[in-house]
């Protein structure tokens, strides 16, 4: 179908925002609520919890001792709520992208109608990827910065604060949340393009996002060189951080895996061959290198998924174009024969 070049092109971005206003309002509301919660966690709630822990630590263990337990529990509980909500955000993005952004429009025929109104399929897909990506990037960037600020406000002051290498905290504290959300957007969009069904695309997009999260967590410790620490058998233990590998060190310096002892005598025999333990781990100084390398890997995954979206759309629209041309030729043949 040809269009008049003088005809104004439809403002697809504005139309997309109007079409998905409920999702836009919901995402904006979620960002506002989580931002307000994390501002409270970084400010008065962190101060109150820290004061409660100082009171608790000042207790001598004799007699009655009063401390603000409610402030301690409030910080702990709401910190967990904010962390899990931020970690769940990529799954929500994937579910929405699969169900509403592409799946529903292809299922109802709205997408094909748009392609006959002067909007090319490539432009249709570009707008559906670019506009949500910009909004998701802005919202999740603000939220991970506020989460890291709330975590830093309690570091060294609140005894129940999660460690930096706790996986939910690690992802909520850094740009991996943004990269995961973008990969989830691409995964959901691809699911909708593949299935043309709302509910199946929702399930597939969410499942692919879960697989990406699992793979990222598995690969993350290996994306940056670990620090190796050697200790004596009496010292034992490892450094504080993300453990990559641990085992025994022989007197010659060779590394052996930790023994799986069936009895105390078997353990003693295995330890008799060793002079100490070795531990390969990531200390806190590796926090940002791990965040950035993991984010880069996830952005590559997102890019691959976006490319797959365009290839799938090209395949489908090419098939539709071929079917349309065949129908037109058949109709012409009937008229000529008549």
From first CA to last CA, the distance across the chain in angstroms is 26
Answer whether 291's CB lies under 8 Å from 216's CB.
no
Out of 66-70, 75-79, 319-323, the most confident range is 75-79
What pLDDT score was predicted for residue 271? 72
Q: pLDDT-based confidence at 255, cuts 50/70/90?
A: confident
Higher pLDDT, 39 or 321: 39
Sheet of strand 242-250: strand arrangement: 227-232, 274-282, 242-250, 255-257
What pLDDT score was predicted for residue 278? 83
What pLDDT score was predicted for residue 61? 61
129-141 per-position pLDDT tens digit? 999 999 999 999 9
What pLDDT score was predicted for residue 324? 45
Phi and psi based region of residue 253 (left: phi greater than 0; alpha: psi -120 to 50; beta: remaining): left
Answer whether 101's CB lies under 8 Å from 192's CB.
yes
Mean pLDDT computed over 12-33: 90
Q: pLDDT-based confidence at 98, cuts 50/70/90?
A: very high
What pLDDT score was predicted for residue 76? 94
What Cα–Cα distance (Å) separates residue 82 from each residue in 8, 209, 217, 270? 45, 20, 20, 46
All residues at 6 or more sequence positions from 324 whose CB lies less than 8 Å from its CB, including other chains:
none
| 208 φ, ψ (degrees, to nearest 5) | -65, -40
pLDDT > 90? residue 143: yes
Domain ranges of the chain: 12-223+297-333, 227-285
**Helix H or strand E encompassing 210:** helix 198-219
Out of 34-43, 229-238, 249-258, the most confident range is 34-43
pLDDT > 80? residue 263: no
Separation of alpha carbons 3 and 14, rounded Å: 21
Q: pLDDT-based confidence at 1, cuts 50/70/90?
A: very low
pLDDT > 80? residue 168: yes
In percent, the amount of the chain with pLDDT more than 90 equals: 59
Cβ density class 15-25: b for 16+ within 10 Å, e for less: ebbeebeebbe
Q: Nearest-CA neighbor of 24 among 169, 162, 134, 153?
A: 134
Q: pLDDT-based confidence at 196, cuts 50/70/90?
A: very high
């Amino acid at each position: 179908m040809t269009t008049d070049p003088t005809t104004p092109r439809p403002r697809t971005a504005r139309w997309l925002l109007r079409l998905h206003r409920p999702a836009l309002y919901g995402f904006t509301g979620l960002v506002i609520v989580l931002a307000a919660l994390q501002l409270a966690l970084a400010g008065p709630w962190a101060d109150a919890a820290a004061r409660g822990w100082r009171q608790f630590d000042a207790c001598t263990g004799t007699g009655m001792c009063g401390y603000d337990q409610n402030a301690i529990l409030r910080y702990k509980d709401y910190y967990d709520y904010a962390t899990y909500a931020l970690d769940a955000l990529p799954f929500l993005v994937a579910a929405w992208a699969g169900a509403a952004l592409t799946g529903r429009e292809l299922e109802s025929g709205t997408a094909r109608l748009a392609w006959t109104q002067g909007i090319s399929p490539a432009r249709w897909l570009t707008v559906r990827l670019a506009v949500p990506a910009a909004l998701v990037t802005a919202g999740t960037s603000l939220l991970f910065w506020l989460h890291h600020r709330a975590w830093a406000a309690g570091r060294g002051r609140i005894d129940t604060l999660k460690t930096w290498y706790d996986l939910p905290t690690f992802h909520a504290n850094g740009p991996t949340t943004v990269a995961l959300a973008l990969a989830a957007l691409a995964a959901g969009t691809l699911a909708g393009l593949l299935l043309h069904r709302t509910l199946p695309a929702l399930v597939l997009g969410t499942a692919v996002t879960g697989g990406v999260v699992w793979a990222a967590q598995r690969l993350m410790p290996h994306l940056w060189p670990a620090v190796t620490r050697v200790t004596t058998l009496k010292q034992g233990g490892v450094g504080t951080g993300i453990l990559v590998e641990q085992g025994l060190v022989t007197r010659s310096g060779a590394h052996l895996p930790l023994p799986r002892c069936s009895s105390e005598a078997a353990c003693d025999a295995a330890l008799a061959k060793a002079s100490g333990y070795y531990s390969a781990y990531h200390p806190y100084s590796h926090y940002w290198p791990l965040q950035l390398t993991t984010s880069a890997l996830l952005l590559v995954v997102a890019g691959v998924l976006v490319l797959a979206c365009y290839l799938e759309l090209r395949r489908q629209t090419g098939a539709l174009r071929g079917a349309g041309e065949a129908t037109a030729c058949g109709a012409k043949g009937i008229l000529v024969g008549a």
